[in-house]
Structure 1
Amino acid sequence: MVSDNDIDAYLICGTPRTGSTLLCGLLRDTGVAGRPESYFRVPGEDMWADRWRLPRDEHGAFDYRDYLRAAIAEGTTPNGVFAARVMWGTLDELVAKLGAVHGDRRSGADLDLLTRAFGRLRFVHLWREDTVAQAVSWARAEQTRFWQHGDAVSPGREPRFDFGQIHDLVQTIGEHNDAWRNWFTTFGVRPHTVRYEDLTTEIDRVTGGILAFLGLDPPAGQAFVPRHRRQADQLNHDWVSRYRARAGR
């Protein structure tokens, strides 16, 4: 995959509830920054494979080489730039599948495999400073199965405050943020860092900064209009307060 730009692809790297859906929509709407989605999140791969009508064997499995080609075609804008969203919990499995495709399962081959799959590659690291608010949002989404506007709340799944669940997610978020930063250091990657709190308050500046990092020019007169609204409400704020009071944070 070779584009006319200085890059062929970029990955949005993060953890859940950091505004990645908002950011993906903003970048997709430029028409020049790929069409980032979670193509490589295991629970969604069957859905994408069905959408792309990939052939399956007698056991219902598809060839991952077919899947990879279809994902790149789906996620690439006419200027040749591919984009995808990858959470820390997805990276190892993606790398393992790429290793199987390329016959290379060497330890430490992560960046080589990603580059072989996607070409000249850059990274955007999305993170959230308020990890308690992030954990509350994550816990509520897990309980209700309502991850973004348009999802239907599952019947009988009224959210309830669960200190243990929120506390576990606070720890998980910290571990995954550290893991991303260590991974970038290990492979000599210098990502463009985006803080959730800036993304939600300075959409134009943050989105424009990403395009500049990628060396991409938006169409003249491009307006960065968010497709998604923030979901946090009074219940989120109440849970954050309850967690902080009990945890002494």
Structure 2
Amino acid sequence: MQAEKVFHNLEETNLVEKLRNQSNLLFIGEKETLSYLENVLNSNHSYGFWLPNNPGKFINREQLLGCKAVVVASVKNENVMLKKVEEYLNSLEIDIPVLRLFADVFVNLMSGQKLLSSSDCQIIFPKLSYAVITTPRSGSTFLCEALKSTNIAGYPVEHLRQPSAILAVHCHFDYLRYLKIMMTHKVTENGVFGTKFISHFLEVLETKTSLNFEKIVNTYISKFVYLVRRDKVAQAVSVVMAKKTNVWHIFNQETEQEYQARLNDLDVEENDLEEVRKYYENILEQEAYLENLFQVYNISPLIVEYEQLLADPDGEIQKILRYLGVFAGEQQINIQSYARKLRSGLSDKIIHKYLEKYG
């Protein structure tokens, strides 16, 4: 079921939870999408199944007049349906906001704008745009949190990650428009925009949506910070541990305690070593993929090593700021990151056994 798959991949954004907190919305869409929404949302909303040849059969004037906005919900192609819904409302001479669930509501949620409004805006490109680009479990969360803490290096997070990638692949979602809107709204006061590209999400977009990376490089992102991890075995073990514990990041003491509790119930299993080997090889493949991108698009990134970042975070962040050409002036920079290391005794044990077996 495509609708269930799409919304499952959007869970981390809390889109459904935000919709639950609204009231008097009329969702219009194909049966599959609306059936899913009706099942997961509360009863404060109305639903109108869209029949292209007979829209009025399930949507009446009273429904429309009683709602504060119409939300076009389609996992197939909401843009096509939007035009038909607008034409139908115009024929009824009803003036009511008509929004797309993904291109408007989702984009507003991610860009921090008013949820129930059009996401269309005047695109204002930042003075400087850059991307942290890396492979999975390389320490990029630690790095990006540290960059954000400077208040002069944008807010680098993964804008083109699983939610936007799944929408682009399955729902005709315009990820370049989405990126431009993020670049308009998600900048620090000095006009700096930061984002983060993880290799496997880029590869998904490139292979399944004809990712126009050349346009991203030539038009949107001017500088790249390439984060690498020298210890590839530890990086692969980090992937395995995250999957075993279902804890991917630790930002507070509560999560850390939960993580430690889960570790107490775990030990090294034989298939763990095979998994480490698989992810180790995958990391090498992902790095090769990124380095090929650099060569093809003539990118000369600043290379930052995770191990050096941990050893001297202030020095490495200052190095990145100099590369970006961003200066604090008289402002005092307090560099910090709330992301904590996940390495544990069990991680070390897996690394030791892996090296014993594979060298």
TM-score range, shorter chain: 0.7 to 0.9
Q: Which has the higher contact order (CA 8 A, sep 6+)?
A: 1
* Pair 1:29 & 2:163 matched: no
Q: Give the corresponding residue for 2:140.
A: 20
- Once the two structures are TM-superposed, the CA of residue 180 in structure 1 deviates from its matched residue by 1.3
Q: State the alpha-carbon separation in 1 of the partners of residues 195 and 279 from structure 2.
A: 24
Where do 1:27-176 residues align within 5 Å?
A: 27-42=147-162, 44-45=163-164, 64=175, 67-95=178-206, 110-116=213-219, 118=220, 121-150=222-251, 159-161=266-268, 162-176=272-286
* Pair 1:11 & 2:131 matched: yes
Q: State the alpha-carbon separation in 2 of the partners of residues 2 and 204 from structure 1.
A: 29
Alpha-carbon deviations, 1:173-194, whole Å to 9, x = none?
Answer: 1111122122212221110000
- Once the two structures are TM-superposed, the CA of residue 221 in structure 1 deviates from its matched residue by 1.9
- Once the two structures are TM-superposed, the CA of residue 94 in structure 1 deviates from its matched residue by 4.0
Answer yes or no: is the 8 Å Cα contact 1:163–1:243 preserved in 2: yes
Answer yes or no: is the 8 Å Cα contact 1:211–1:218 preserved in 2: no
Task: Give aligned pairs, total.
Answer: 223
- Once the two structures are TM-superposed, the CA of residue 65 in structure 1 deviates from its matched residue by 5.6
Cα 1:159–1:15, aligned 2, differ >3 Å: closer, same or farther? farther
Cα 1:87–1:195, aligned 2, differ >3 Å: closer, same or farther? same
Which protein shows a greater Rg? Answer: 2
Secondary structure of the residue that 1:126 maps to in structure 2? strand
Cα 1:236–1:209, aligned 2, differ >3 Å: closer, same or farther? same
Alpha-carbon deviations, 1:34-88, whole Å to 9, x = none?
Answer: 101111112x3399x9xxxxxxxxx987554653344324532222221111111
Give, as a single letter, the amino acid of the residue that structure 2 aligns with 1:142: K
Secondary structure of the residue that 2:311 maps to in structure 1? coil
Of stretches 221-230 and 187-196 in structure 1, the one that deviates more from structure 2 is 221-230
Q: State the alpha-carbon separation in 2 of the partners of residues 95 and 215 from structure 1.
A: 30
Q: State the alpha-carbon separation in 2 of the partners of residues 18 and 3 from structure 1.
A: 27
Secondary structure of the residue that 2:333 maps to in structure 1? coil
Q: State the alpha-carbon separation in 1 of the partners of residues 242 and 185 from structure 2.
A: 27
Q: Percent same amino acid at aligned positions?
A: 27
* Pair 1:198 & 2:308 matched: yes
Q: State the alpha-carbon separation in 1 of the partners of residues 296 and 172 from structure 2.
A: 34
Cα 1:156–1:200, aligned 2, differ >3 Å: closer, same or farther? closer
Cα 1:110–1:45, aligned 2, differ >3 Å: closer, same or farther? closer
Answer yes or no: is the 8 Å Cα contact 2:165–2:201 preserved in 1: no
Cα 1:62–1:177, aligned 2, differ >3 Å: closer, same or farther? closer
Q: CA RMSD in A?
A: 2.9
Q: State the alpha-carbon separation in 2 of the partners of residues 194 and 17 from structure 1.
A: 14
More helix by share: 2
Alpha-carbon deviations, 1:83-131, whole Å to 9, x = none?
Answer: 11111111134457886xxxxx7xxx52234433x25x11010010110
Q: State the alpha-carbon separation in 1 of the partners of residues 308 and 149 from structure 2.
A: 19
Q: Which runs of 5 or more residues in structure 2 are unaligned?
A: 1-123
Q: State the alpha-carbon separation in 2 of the partners of residues 156 and 225 from structure 1.
A: 27
